[in-house]
Amino acid sequence: MKVLGIETSCDETGIAIYDTENGLLAHQLYSQVKLHADYGGVVPELASRDHVRKVLPLIKAALAEAELTQKDIDAIAYTCGPGLVGALLVGSCIGRSLAFAWDVPAIGVHHMEGHLLAPMLEVNQPEFPFVALLVSGGHTQLVDVKGIGEYELLGESVDDAAGEAFDKTAKLMGLDYPGGPRLAKLAEGGRSDMFKFPRPMTDRPGLDFSFSGLKTFTANTLAASPDDDQTRADIARAFEDAVVDTLAIKCKRALEQTGRKRLVVAGGVSANKHLRQQLEQLLSKLGGHVFYPRTEFCTDNGAMIALAGAFRLQAGQQTGLAIKTFPRWPLTELAPHAE
């Protein structure tokens, strides 16, 4: 089964073709970073309009890359939530309409399920069950995964997601959008022993997260410190250390609570080098294994949507003609794969 995947949940237009027998055949991605840079963040209306311009040309490019025509496509998967409602509507309308025109089934995919399953695009795939850390600009969640659609939420952020905290803190430090990767780059030159930031909500039981207070702590530290390049790098390092340590501490708790030995880490922040190093060390000590998607599939992309859609379609699930989007959509509301 060859599945065309369409991702338009936020500020990246992703198109891919996944073959259940031969794997990923094509992958096209357009980022709107330059479009939103002047505003310091994503402007929903601009994002939606840009998806309208880019989806069809990228579908044509993906078909050409895979050396296929529309007649070779067996199904279409598209992101229908969560995300920006206008952006979701673009991908959902185009995906559902193409499926109708091409007389193939369609499936609306949960964006975070796409992230959760993205490591299965790799040769070294995780087996069920496992604990998943979904860590991005919009979500920070720990999920116990027994199988596709069998999800138990263990903990989540009560305020800012980790990626959101990275971006907002970077903005406080005067870094350009998108700030998260720039802050991580700045932190590479920082000294780890110059500032000590708190590890929020690690001094109490539970698996929830809170990162908004770190922004305030960073702002106060910046105001009380010399304004030179090395100090700024040291502060960036202290912030990154605090976020990474907090994520690692909660992952360790989740693994111990569930008895799992496998950890999946996905979402934009999963590309952070420091986070990967620390989690690899943690799982090595625990006698377990950690799995990631390759860097290009950490951020939003069509490949993960095509893959997640293929799993659902193989289980006999599909979406009707009504076009529905879900800007807010708890992962735990998804039906099990076998249902």
Strands 262-266 and 150-156: unpaired
Q: In whole angstroms, what is the distance from residue 155 CA to residue 254 CA?
A: 9
Contact 12, 300 (CB under 8 A): yes
Confidence band for 49, pLDDT divided at 50, 70 and 90? very high
- The residue behind tokens 């069809």 is 56
Contact 112, 306 (CB under 8 A): no
Homologous superfamily, domain 2-117+297-333 = ATPase, nucleotide binding domain (3.30.420.40)
300 is in an annotated binding site: yes
CA quadruple 135, 147, 98, 56: dihedral sign: positive
Q: 75 - beta bridge partners?
A: 3
What is the tens place of the pLDDT at every residue in 234-251? Answer: 999 999 999 999 999 999
What is the tens place of the pLDDT at every residue in 312-336? Answer: 999 999 999 999 999 999 999 998 9
Contact 290, 265 (CB under 8 A): yes
136 is in an annotated binding site: yes
Q: Residue 338: its pLDDT value, please?
A: 62
* Of residues 168, 177, 166, the one with CA closest to residue 237: 166
Q: 290 - beta bridge partners?
A: 263
Mean pLDDT score across all residues of the chain: 96
Q: Which two structure tokens, joined as six digits, stand for 120?
A: 């299965």
Confidence band for 337, pLDDT divided at 50, 70 and 90? confident
CATH 3.30.420.40 region(s) of the chain? 2-117+297-333, 128-292
- Burial annotation 86-125 (CB, 10 A radius, 16+ → b, else e): bbbbbbbbbbbebbeebebbbbbbbbbbbbbbbbbbeeee
- pLDDT over 60 at 116, yes or no: yes
Helix, strand and coil content of the chain, in percent to the nearest 5, comes to 45, 20, 35
- pLDDT over 80 at 104, yes or no: yes
Q: Residue 137: its pLDDT value, please?
A: 87
138 is in an annotated binding site: yes
CATH architecture of residue range(s) 128-292: 2-Layer Sandwich (3.30)
Contact 132, 124 (CB under 8 A): no
Q: Residue 269: its pLDDT value, please?
A: 96
Q: Which two structure tokens, joined as six digits, stand for 235?
A: 């502060």
- pLDDT over 70 at 284, yes or no: yes
167 is in an annotated binding site: yes
How many alpha carbons lie under 13 Å from residue 283 in its C-beta half-sphere? 19
Q: 336 - beta bridge partners?
A: none
What is the tens place of the pLDDT at every residue in 56-100? Answer: 999 999 999 999 999 999 999 999 999 999 999 999 999 999 999
Q: In whole angstroms, what is the distance from residue 116 CA to residue 237 CA?
A: 28
Contact 31, 298 (CB under 8 A): no
DSSP symbol at 267: S
Q: In whole angstroms, what is the distance from residue 138 CA to residue 253 CA?
A: 22
134 is in an annotated binding site: yes
How many alpha carbons lie under 13 Å from residue 64 in its C-beta half-sphere? 7
Neighbours of 278 (CB within 10 A): 18
pTM over 0.85: yes
- At residue 190, φ and ψ (nearest 5 deg) are -90, 155
- pLDDT over 90 at 151, yes or no: yes
Q: Which two structure tokens, joined as six digits, stand for 256?
A: 């111990």
